[in-house]
Amino acid sequence: MNFDFEKGEVLLIDKPLHWTSFDVVNKLRYKISKKVNVKRIKIGHAGTLDPLATGLLIICTGKMTKQIDTFQAQEKEYTGSFTVGSTTPSYDLETEIQFFADYQHLTQKEITEKTKEFIGTINQKPPIFSAIKVNGKALYHSARKGEEVEIPTKQITIHQFDITNIALPQIDFKVKCSKGTYIRSLANDFGQSLQTGAHLSSLKRTKIGDYSIENAYQLDNFLEIVDNL
Q: Is 162 a catalytic residue?
A: no
Give which of 76, 84, 103, 69 is closest to 176, Cα–Cα.
76
Three-state SS for 164? strand
Nearest to 57 by CA among 221, 157, 175, 207: 207
List the alpha helices (DSSP H) in the chain. 21-36, 68-72, 108-114, 139-144, 183-194, 219-227
The 8 Å CB, 24+ separation contacts for 22-29 are 24/57, 24/59, 24/219, 25/59, 27/219, 27/223, 28/59, 28/222, 28/223, 28/226
Cα–Cα distance measured from residue 187 to residue 75, given in angstroms and rounded to the nearest whole number:
19
Of 199, 197, 105, 185, whose CA–CA distance to 139 is shortest? 185
**What 3-state DSSP class applies to 108?**
helix
User: Which one of 14, 23, 50, 172 is the catalytic residue?
Assistant: 50
Any idea which residues carry the catalytic annotation?
50
